[in-house]
Amino acid sequence: MSAVIYHNPRCGKSRETLKLLNERGENVQVVEYLKYCPSFEELKAIISKIGVKPSEIIRKGEKVFKEQYKGQDLTDDEWIQAMIENPILIERPIVVKGQKAAIGRPAENVLGIL
């Protein structure tokens, strides 16, 4: 079974996590989520596999968050929709393998799902 990494090649943590997966010999499918954002249902399933609330994987330092979402009390589905509309808000990298997922911050976090 291959792992899927939701990757931003411009992000050092994302590159570090991809390197770790490759060094471990994992068969990895790379999804550049800023170009190919997961669907609403796919993102909802990924978040469920991580075991967190959608608001917990929002990148709160992003300009779009500060301008459009800071201080808002959104439902889980509304946060997912915000990430679909603004993929830059999705914390990265996310690695999914089977029914498990983890955020690679630090990269070693993904070792528990491999």
pLDDT band at residue 1 using 50, 70 and 90 as cut-offs: confident
Say whether the peptide bond before residue 106 is cis (omega within 30 degrees of 0).
yes
pLDDT tens digit sequence for 57-109: 999 999 999 999 999 999 999 999 999 999 999 999 999 999 999 999 999 99
Q: How many CB atoms lie within 10 A of CB 94?
A: 27
- Listed by start position, the domains of the chain span 3-113
Degrees to nearest 5, angle at CA 45 with 9 and 74: 90
Whether 11 is catalytic: yes
pTM of the model: 0.94
**Among the options 11, 30, 88, 114, which is catalytic?**
11
Fold of 3-113: Glutaredoxin (3.40.30)
